[in-house]
Amino acid sequence: MEKAVLREGVTILAASRSDELSMEVNGHGVFTNLVLGALRGGAADVRGRVSAASIYAYAEAALGAWDQRPLYKSHAAHLEPVRLCDPKVDDKTLHALATYFPSADHEFQLDPTFEETNVKAAKPENVAIFKTLKQYQIAGLVRPKVGTDLYWSAERSGFVLLTDLGQFYLRLVQLGRL
């Protein structure tokens, strides 16, 4: 049995295990292309941080269709970012979570005044809020209570809820840790 001992602060990412082939497409390594995509932001968290663990998760999930399993070994006390990308939601907008969701279980109600394509009802201040909620949804922080589309939630006066990740970021905001 092989055993790797790593000193603290060392992380290893490899395209495949020692007994596997690393796949190539058009002369380029599949794993390498995935790592590059991860570093360009594909593996970034809400605040734009890319860690070695997120690179591995990104590549491993994408390689599900291939007969190649990447390797990840780490001895890290915490995950330092290896790259900073544009955040999905900037800190100022993350702080606004507490404005729309005063508690983790709060349900934010929409109505047709939030949808800019509803020319009869749309109100500019609500349209701006809707755009922020859409940004939160894309980052995985909120979801409609019913269905998958915020448009229909607005048109049908539905509700928006925090996801588990949204509840986590709300708590960070409330504790002043963000």
Q: Could you give all domains of the chain from N- to C-terminal order, each with its CATH number? A: 10-84 (3.30.70.1470), 91-174 (1.10.10)
Contact between 100 and 108 (Cβ < 8 Å):
yes
Alpha-carbon distance of 102 to 178, in angstroms, equals 16
Residues above pLDDT 70, as percent of the chain: 98
Mean per-residue pLDDT for 53-76? 89
Confidence of residue 24 (pLDDT cuts 50, 70, 90): confident
Segment 114-148, tens digit of pLDDT: 999 999 999 999 999 999 999 999 999 999 999 99
Mean pLDDT of 153-172: 97
Check whether 34 has a pLDDT greater than 90: yes
Closest CA to 115 of 124, 106, 105: 124
Helices (H), the chain: 30-37, 52-62, 91-95, 97-100, 124-138, 150-155, 164-174
Inform me whether the pLDDT recorded for 52 exceeds 70. yes
Of residues 64 and 95, more confidence is placed in 95
Beta-strand relationship, 142-144 and 159-162: antiparallel
Mean pLDDT, the chain, whole residue set = 93
**What 8-state DSSP symbol labels residue 42?**
I
Instruction: Give the model's pLDDT for residue 27.
Output: 83
pLDDT at 1: 55
Grade residue 26 by pLDDT with cuts at 50, 70 and 90.
Answer: confident
Q: What average pLDDT does this structure show over 51-73?
A: 89
> What does the pLDDT look like over 80-91, one tens digit per residue?
899 999 999 999
Q: Band of the pLDDT at 2, cuts 50, 70, 90?
A: low
pLDDT of residue 18: 82
